[in-house]
Amino acid sequence: MGRPATATINLDALRHNYRITQQLSGSGQVMAVVKADAYSHGATACATALADVARGFAVACIEEALELRAAGIKQPILLLEGFFEPSELAMIDRYRLDTVIHHQYQIDALVAEPLDHPVRIWLKMDSGMGRVGFAPDTYRAAWEQLCALSCVKDIVLMSHFACADEADSEHAQQQLATFNAYTQGLPGERSFCNSAGLLALKDARGDWNRPGLLLYGVSPFTEAHGFESKIQPVMELSSAIISIKDIPAGSSVGYGSQWTAESPTRIGVVAIGYADGYPRHAVNGTPISINGYRVPLVGRVSMDMLTVDLTEIPNVQIGDRAILWGKDLSVAEVAGFANTIPYQLLCNLNRVPVEYHKNSVAVMETAEYISA
């Protein structure tokens, strides 16, 4: 009960999307990316739902990894940013975590504080992302240093695309060529593909692929790619109409009076706003689904509420559900109206109660809020 804003998570859709990523991976394995609380879908719930099929999970940091271990997740867990301080090595050892190595200070820490148990290292090359990773011409030397350590059981060769979500990206092809050239002759499994790479760059699909957004039923591309009908949105963000009023032509709505009715208009107020993570900069006309109809957002999004034009919809009542994004209204489409990306909308979700469904039945409703 209480405020009607809700995020409903379909765990069956998540499992369906995982199977799609596994099919795309062929003989490779899928490392399911559940960082940032599984893009606000709930890392523990999502990992638990995939525990019988997923070969591993990827998180940003050790705090996220320990949450999964505490929930009983036994699969390999990869720290995508590696460790930040040598003191984390004891926990990596204790909880049997995989770790990315992207900088010399991390190798130096392993040399100074060798682990009691062998660890799998994911050695990252900066092949053109310009972020973290060893430069191509220093990559082999880093690999040799790690091979000399008794606590390193094997090394996965990895990199990360900068532009895989751009159609026919020359930069992505250059990155792949660089990675292949500078790892030629090195043994070990390979990992390059994120969601966009997995879909668009068949030659880059490796022994391990690391889909994130695709698992949650969202396209990583701004243009149609042809696979959208095969994946299923995992999250539906909804709320309800809490007020309906008729206003005359010339009346303005919302902060700043940035929208003015050109004719008599029926206005509906929905109990959700930017404090919940709905984008404040969504423009007038951003679609919202009510009773199967798309209606336009009008006026500026407030902290706790937004307003829509109900004039063309018959028989709308207080309490009717408003779908902000979900099956018939993709979060990617909404992101376009806010000049942002679906990643940000999902990850910014805040203070919204979450309900999990499996086999079309609500399996858990938390008293917690999704936090940013």
Collapsed DSSP state (helix, strand, coil) of residue 327: coil
Q: Which residues of 11-40 are buried (b: 16+ CB within 10 A; e: fewer)?
A: bebbbbbbebbbebbeebbbbbbbbbbbbb
Residue 149 burial by Cβ neighbours in a 10 Å radius (0-12, 13-18, 19+): middle
Q: Which amino acid is at 126?
A: D
Candidates 153, 202, 245, 255; catalytic one: 255
d(CA 275, CA 293): 25
Contact 128, 120 (CB under 8 A): no
Please enumerate, by residue number, every residue annotated as part of a binding site.
131, 303
Virtual CA dihedral for 83, 89, 95, 101, nearest 10 degrees? 40
> Is 35 a residue of the active site?
yes
Please enumerate, by residue number, every residue annotated as part of a binding site for substrate.
131, 303
> Is 39 a residue of the active site?
no
d(CA 22, CA 2): 40
Candidates 18, 35, 39, 278; catalytic one: 35
- 136 pairs with which residues across the strands? none
Q: Which letter does DSSP use for residue 297 in this model?
A: B
Catalytic residue positions? Answer: 35, 255
